[in-house]
Copies of this chain bind each other. A is one copy, B any other.
Amino acid sequence: MTIRVLVADDQSMVRAGFRMLLGGEEDIEVVAEASNGLEAVDKAARFSPNVVLMDIRMPELDGLQATKRIVEADGAARVLILTTFDLDEYVYEALRVGASGFVLKDDPPEQLLAAIRTVADGDALLSPAVTKRVIERFTRIRQPTPPKGLDELTERELDVFRLIARGLSNAEIGRELYISDTTVKTHITHIFQKLDLRDRVQAVVLAYESGILEAT
């Protein structure tokens, strides 16, 4: 009794990687692939996989909407959400739309395989790193340990980061720290690179999620 898997990811390289990884397992078979959300919904209906590996960021229809439709259409289907980002709010949204689990792309392969077998079995599963976040959120407890990357910031960058988190503009930050706004921009660019952020909005989200403001 093999586990039938549908791989849904818009990057063909990623799909190829999964085919390779899963192909080596006796009890797992990739029965179909999809490169966008609509296709995933369609193929899930036609191939009735036991487990769907679902990327969140996809064209046409994102992974969350696709998951919602798939689970609505077939309650027995187990969807395992896959993503590279572990600081987004997608986790909660994913659980709400009916996903059975959540795995980070950086998790080791064995963990992914274990996750597939676990959800196929009917249990739910979160990657350890994700579970930690859920627990923190659930218990409203902030860890004393700052998230990875934050310690890479220099003192000055941390100053700027805290002010960003308060909603200040670059000019305001400059006035506050007695430096020019171009300098502020320089610091900000470095901060974004180090923390892998896109813009200051994501910086604010991270600041609150990681509880940095407590230390003000």
Selected contact of A167 from candidates B141, B175, B202, CB within 8 Å: B202
**Are B123 and A132 in contact, with the CB atoms below 8 A?**
yes
Is B139 touching A201 in the complex (CB atoms < 8 A)? no
Q: Chain B's nearest CB lies how many Å from the CB of A60?
A: 10
User: A62 on the interface (CB 8 Å rule)?
Assistant: yes
**A95, A135, A141, A208 — most chain B CB neighbours (10 Å):** A135
Task: Decide: B132 and A95 in contact? CB cutoff 8 A.
Answer: no
Which residues from B are CB-within-8-Å of A98?
141
Contact A124-B132, Cβ < 8 Å, known A166-B89, A200-B201:
yes
Could you name 24 residue pairs across A and B whose Cβ atoms are closer than 8 Å? A62-B176, A88-B167, A89-B216, A92-B138, A92-B216, A95-B138, A95-B139, A96-B216, A121-B128, A123-B128, A123-B131, A124-B131, A124-B132, A125-B131, A134-B134, A138-B138, A164-B201, A167-B204, A169-B199, A169-B201, A201-B201, A201-B204, A204-B204, A204-B205
CA distance A142 to B138 in the complex (A): 13
Q: Does the CB pair B205–A167 fall under 8 Å? A: yes
Of residues 174 through 208 on chain A, the ones whose CB sits less than 8 Å from some CB of chain B are 175-176, 198-202, 204-205, 208
